[in-house]
Amino acid sequence: MPTPIHSYRKYWAECFGPAPELPMSRAEMDALGWDSCDIIIVTGDAYVDHPSFGMAVIGRLLEAQGFRVGIIAQPDWTNTDAFRALGKPNLFFGVSAGNMDSMINRYTADRKRRNDDAYTPDNQGGKRPDRAVIVYSQRLREAYREVPLVIGSIEASLRRIAHYDYWSDKIRRSILLDSRADLLLYGNAERAIVDVAHRLAAGEPIQRIRDLRGTAFVRKRVPDGWREIDSTSIDRVGPVDKPANPYSAQSPAECSPEEVQVTQGEDVVRILDKVDDERPAVVRIPSFEQVRADPALYAHASRILHKETNPHNARPLVQAHGDREVWLNSPPIPLSTDELDWVFELPYTRLPHSHYGEARLPAYEMIRHSVNIMRGCFGGCTFCSITEHEGRIIQNRSESSILREVEKIRDTSPAFTGVISDLGGPTANMWRLACKSKDIEAKCRKLSCVFPGICKNLDTNQKPLVELYRKARELPGIKKVLIASGLRYDIAVETPEYVRELVTHHVGGYLKIAPEHTEDAPLNKMMKPGIGTYDRFKALFDKYSREAGKEQYLIPYFIAAHPGTSDRDMMNLALWLKRNKFRADQVQTFYPSPMATATAMYYSGKNPLQRITRDSDTMPTVRGLSQRRLHKAFLRYHDPDNWPMLRTALKKMGRADLIGNGKMHLVPPRQPGKRHAVVAGSQPFATQHNGLPRTPSRRRRGKQ
């Protein structure tokens, strides 16, 4: 078992005590009586001392270990001056792009630059560079070449091996090489960062720290004593070549088509546990040069990496980059409930740093009165990076810790009006859900516990969550507890009592859920349940809303242009929207984030959810801008600006019968006049993919 993160002997600087807020300037350091910082964190976000912001969690965690921690937030990266503001740290620099990947933060799915940034004061764009981890690291190397450099955050986590980069449309090498960092911490890094800090403080060189879970680094070669498992090629399936019988007239080509052989590839990884060799094993995946040259090998490498994510059975991975080896240790062991409670109850102010004055921080305003109750997700959606970053084993806070945080918000937040905006996390309703058997969980390599159906070993009882909701809203001074995190509705229907509680007390008129599509082909590539599960949930939602005497609506979200989606799939989705009277205001086009399984599909045309072979079918991928726009247009079938494009597409698809003015038609035969017509029968509210419906009732609720 790992050492509990709150049981380390504290560093000598604990005598200074916790800082009111971690310093961002020399003047603040002087006021605290510090002559130097032990650790300095450089981040792409504005500094908000709230447990929903990664730099605050890591900063307060290290402070609780006795270290003096400074923050350099959103520095000017054009020179080294801002990076010298706090001086030279005694132990190391930590670099983070922030809560979001800097490229996803700055660009839309159509690669257009955004003009805003919710993690920057007054929503101002352009305050962080592209590929922030690399740029910040390069400036730090220029300023203090000899200081150890540790990189982390979701940006580094998802780029720990060779990866497809959507913005340059090419394979990039591991971020370790471009940043020249000494160590990369991936996933939730509390265990690793605490151990790194104490070992450096004890005088151990960072080049010797090579045994920590959840870390990646560069080395010259695989060290002695390791058993190397070669998975650098993919399966080749074909007929067995029987030796010719010189005494027979039968052709050797007439062997049974069932007689096939499989050489190398994933089978090697699958059976390596049976090898009688006590040496530790490392799995070699295709090199950077191989995956850059062969998209099928890229898909194969993605499949192997995702099979090696269970911290209880995952082996280290190694990937060659020229004459250097990028080594990934096994994922970190999840935090216990006791440890997670301790992390979330550190002395956060829950406020932006006073340096920002009255400036608005939209990301903070969205979450300041929310409470994170868990981490991780076992859904495994292929377009999402939560599992790659946080893991699929749920880390839970205790009920008492959650309720204490609700009370702290009530008692200390000057803007609190009695409404908790969310009790959730990556998902709303996975708190305390886990495999029924620890032995099975330790051996499982499934990418999802709920696809293609809910695993029989998964405990789906959400009654403890019902009790948590009841206790939270019964606290004195709490008027309302809303649930704003994404709801996993296929799990929710397993506990109807949970749906009743949610609908009766915790929905603010509209509930966001994400079926993502209606057609089986794209849903299977997403690892999402069929639309029938949505129908089951909607029936319960409508029933309990009526019983509560409330007029409430479901807001379903959908993705356009996901790998595996055809034009006909999008047409059928548009017809479903029309039948159900939904009009999407803003829609989400598939965004290929680094290391996601769906990104491997997008780049390679192969399906990493199945074994990759040279004979694997090529799946449809939507790469061209015109087709991506068409798929988006199908979701916004009601927008007259999209009608010419849709009419042309429907004619090409042989579905001109859907062009007309009737309720059964998708688009009218001609453009309207100056005043745009509204498609008949559509629901009278607009939805947007990244927020609640924009309606007068929502604006009124916002003022309550």
347, 348, 364: which is closest to 46 by C-alpha? 364
482 neighbors 508 (Cβ within 8 angstroms):
yes
Query: What does the block give as tokens for 73?
Result: 């937030």
300 neighbors 266 (Cβ within 8 angstroms):
yes
Look-up: residue for tokens 């059964």?
A: 664
The radius of gyration of the chain from alpha carbons, rounded to an integer in Å, stands at 27
| DSSP 8-state assignment for residue 524 | H
Helices 643-652 + 625-635 axis angle, to 10: 100
Determine the residue type at 4. Answer: P
Question: Can you tell me the distance from the alpha carbon of 431 to that of 468, in angstroms, rounded to the nearest whole number?
Answer: 10
CB 614: neighbour CB atoms within 10 A? 12
Burial level of 684, CB count in 10 A (0-12/13-18/19+)?
exposed
Burial level of 639, CB count in 10 A (0-12/13-18/19+)?
middle
Query: What does the block give as tokens for 639?
Result: 């927008």
Side-chain half-sphere of 10: how many Cα atoms within 13 Å?
A: 16
- Residue 314 Ramachandran class (φ > 0 left, ψ -120 to 50 alpha, else beta): beta
What distance, in Å, lies between the first and last C-alpha atoms of the chain? 48
Helices assigned H by DSSP within 427-514: 438-443, 463-473, 489-492, 496-505
Burial level of 249, CB count in 10 A (0-12/13-18/19+)?
exposed
Question: Which is it for strands 583-584 and 686-687: parallel, antiparallel or unpaired?
Answer: parallel
Query: What does the block give as tokens for 353?
Result: 């740093």
| DSSP output for 126-138 | -SS-TTHHHHHHH
687 neighbors 585 (Cβ within 8 angstroms):
yes
Question: Can you tell me the distance from the alpha carbon of 444 to that of 391, in angstroms, rounded to the nearest whole number?
Answer: 13
591 neighbors 104 (Cβ within 8 angstroms):
yes
482, 497, 544, 492: which is closest to 513 by C-alpha? 492
Distance of alpha carbon 190 from its chain centroid, rounded? 18
Question: Could you tell me which residues are annotated as the binding site?
Answer: 377, 381, 384
Side-chain half-sphere of 384: how many Cα atoms within 13 Å?
A: 22
Indicate if the alpha-carbon torsion angle 466, 469, 472, 477 is positive or negative. negative
Question: Could you tell me which residues are annotated as the binding site for [4Fe-4S] cluster?
Answer: 377, 381, 384
Look-up: residue for tokens 């998975």?
A: 231
Question: Can you tell me the distance from the alpha carbon of 291 to that of 284, in angstroms, rounded to the nearest whole number?
Answer: 13
327 neighbors 170 (Cβ within 8 angstroms):
no
Q: Residue 644, preceding bond cis, omega within 30 degrees?
A: no
Question: Which is it for strands 39-43 and 92-96: parallel, antiparallel or unpaired?
Answer: parallel
Residue 284's DSSP bridge partners are 230, 318
Query: What does the block give as tokens for 447?
Result: 């990418």
